[in-house]
């Protein structure tokens, strides 16, 4: 995993550098002599209190040469009243720039639902338009407008599916997954304006000035045929929604309200409104036929318009929440927090945030207070302590501080590298725990030291 270092914690001194050695504070390294192997520093005393302070080379030389055996005092006996303006080991802040591959979304069912709805809506529009031209029915005109709106909205959803599959680039490093939410929102606005608004206005215009529609039998036949076609499209959309709910481990009702993929839900609600609207249109024409009162025709148009308005408001609200930035589910967040709390290298967690960046894709961010003692002990167990201790003893025998500063600087570079490796490990484990988390940003918490 590539790492981008925003700040250089300690100066570099190329070209000669010591071999990779144990990271983190100098104190645990130098305080772990054979005589003190059984004395473990308190969990909160050394690294947490002294990590943000500076170490004087003169002081360190005095510590290393304190007796003839080069035995270092225990960690708890080292004073911490150093200045803040010398060579600082203050922990800093890291940003990981992870290389992200092209996002492939398993949206086969959503794509099938959209394609089916497009074909069905075009066929239904053709039938309704022909009947409206024959009957001049206001409710049939409302259904024609409804079908036009449905076809246009399905086309927008299809475009959103295609554009959301594009991978990340320099302008959009998190990808284009939110394109689905954008085009679903535009589709919902189209339903509200064209489908609902135009239908209601047309119904009110003819509420007091209406004529009975002609050839009602033809209209009834077309409504019955459209009902069957839209019903088939609705079944395909319901199947896609069920598959999406099962994939996310959610109940169907919860998925309709809070599911991450808006496309199948949009198709299902629009097809459901279409089937309901056809039933209303059929009931209106039957009422006109049996009562002889043409008032039921524009009333049916107004009812269909209100139905479309409710569907549009639901879809607008659903996509608005997704675009604003919704957190991941509590269950997934709890998994991540429990993992971090149980990791020995993590002392405490601050400022956890998460955001949905696409259907089933999330971003997670947290600031972590690392346990420096555990960090250095883990590294010492892997790499050994003696090489660094030897370099510090050799530097202490030189009167000039230059050699000591070089060793400390190189050691500081290893501190940064080791901390970055721990951050990378935590990021990888989090992504394994919740595969939907595609981007993890972990920063080292930098408390203000008085």
Range of the domain at 66: 26-99+338-444
Write out pLDDT tens, residues 17-70: 333 433 344 444 444 433 443 444 444 333 333 333 445 555 555 555 554 444
DSSP-derived secondary structure letter, 168: P
- Amino acid 7: pLDDT: 33
Position 235 confidence tier, pLDDT thresholds 50, 70, 90? very high
| Domain stops at, among 260, 292, 326 | 326
- Measured distance CA(55)–CA(59) in Å, rounded: 7
Write out pLDDT tens, residues 155-175: 988 898 888 888 888 888 888
- In sequence order, the 6+-apart residues with CB closer than 8 A to the CB of 207 are 295, 298, 299, 302
The percentage of the chain sitting over the pLDDT mark of 70, rounded to a whole number, equals 74
Write out pLDDT tens, residues 94-153: 333 333 333 344 567 888 888 998 998 888 888 888 878 887 777 677 778 877 877 888
Arithmetic mean of pLDDT over the chain:
74
For residues 226 and 349, state if they share a domain.
no
| Domain stops at, among 304, 326, 348 | 326
For residues 270 and 306, state if they share a domain.
yes
When mean pLDDT is compared across 55-64, 218-227, 293-302, the lowest value belongs to 55-64
Does the pLDDT at position 91 exceed 70?
no
For residues 247 and 206, state if they share a domain.
yes
Q: Is 91 in a helix, a strand, or coil? A: coil
Position 5 confidence tier, pLDDT thresholds 50, 70, 90? very low
pTM of the model: 0.64
420-441 mean pLDDT:
89
In a domain, 292, yes or no: yes
β-pairing verdict for 437-444 and 346-358: unpaired
CATH code for position 200: 1.20.1510.10
The percentage of the chain sitting over the pLDDT mark of 90, rounded to a whole number, equals 11
Please report where in the chains the tokens 């074909």 appear, as a residue.
119
For residues 72 and 163, state if they share a domain.
no
**CB pairs under 8 A, 24+ apart, for 388-393?**
388/18, 388/21, 388/22, 388/29, 389/29, 389/30, 391/18, 391/21, 392/26, 392/30, 392/60, 392/64, 393/64, 393/70
Number of domains in the chain: 2
Comparing 310 with 221, the larger pLDDT belongs to 310
For residues 189 and 163, state if they share a domain.
yes
Position 295 confidence tier, pLDDT thresholds 50, 70, 90? confident
- Amino acid 63: pLDDT: 52
Comparing 92 with 288, the larger pLDDT belongs to 288
Does the pLDDT at position 276 exceed 60?
yes
Angle at 108 between CA 102 and CA 111, to 5 degrees: 100
For residues 252 and 319, state if they share a domain.
yes
Q: Which of 277, 280, 311, 304 is nearest to 187 (CA)?
A: 311
Phi and psi torsions of 91, nearest 5°? -70, 145
């Amino acid at each position: 995993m590539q790492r981008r270092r925003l700040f250089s914690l300690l100066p570099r001194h190329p070209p000669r550098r010591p071999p990779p050695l144990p990271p983190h504070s100098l104190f645990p390294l130098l305080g772990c002599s054979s005589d003190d192997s059984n004395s473990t520093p308190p969990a909160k005393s050394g690294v947490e209190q002294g990590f943000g302070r500076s170490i004087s080379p003169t002081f360190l030389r005095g510590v290393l040469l304190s007796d003839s055996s080069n035995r270092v005092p225990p960690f708890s006996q080292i004073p911490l009243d150093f200045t803040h303006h010398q060579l600082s080991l203050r922990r800093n802040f890291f940003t990981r720039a992870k290389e992200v591959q092209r996002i492939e979304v398993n949206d086969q069912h959503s794509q099938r639902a959209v394609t089916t709805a497009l074909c069905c809506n075009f066929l239904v529009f053709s039938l309704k338009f022909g009947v409206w031209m024959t009957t001049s029915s206001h409710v049939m005109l409302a259904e024609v407008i409804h079908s036009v709106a449905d076809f246009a909205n399905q086309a927008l959803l299809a475009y959103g599916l295609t554009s959301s599959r594009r991978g990340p680039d320099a302008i959009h490093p998190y990808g284009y997954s939110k394109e689905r939410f954008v085009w679903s929102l535009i589709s919902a606005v189209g339903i509200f304006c064209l489908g609902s608004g135009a239908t209601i206005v047309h119904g009110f215009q003819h509420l007091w000035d209406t004529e009975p529609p002609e050839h009602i039998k033809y209209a009834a036949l077309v409504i019955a045929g459209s009902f069957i076609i839209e019903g088939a499209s609705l079944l395909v959309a319901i199947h896609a929604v069920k598959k999406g709910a099962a994939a996310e481990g959610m109940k169907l009702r919860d998925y309709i309200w809070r599911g991450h993929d808006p496309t199948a839900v949009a198709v299902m609600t629009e097809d459901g409104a279409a089937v309901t609207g056809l039933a209303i249109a059929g009931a209106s024409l039957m009422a006109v036929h049996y009562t002889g009162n043409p008032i039921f025709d524009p009333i049916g148009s107004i009812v269909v318009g209100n139905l479309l308005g409710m569907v549009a408001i639901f879809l607008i609200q659903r996509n608005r929440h997704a675009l604003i930035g919704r957190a991941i589910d509590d269950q997934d967040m709890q998994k991540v927090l429990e993992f971090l709390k149980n990791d020995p290298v993590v002392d405490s967690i601050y400022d956890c945030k998460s955001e949905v960046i696409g259907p089933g894709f999330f971003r997670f961010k947290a600031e972590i207070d690392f346990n420096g003692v555990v960090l250095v002990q883990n590294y010492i167990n892997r790499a050994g302590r003696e090489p660094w201790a030897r370099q510090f003893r050799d530097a202490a025998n030189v009167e000039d501080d230059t050699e000591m500063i070089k060793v400390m600087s190189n050691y500081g570079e290893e501190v940064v590298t080791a901390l970055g490796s721990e951050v990378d490990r935590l990021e990888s484990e989090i992504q394994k725990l919740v595969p939907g988390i595609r981007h993890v940003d972990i920063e080292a918490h930098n408390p203000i030291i008085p």
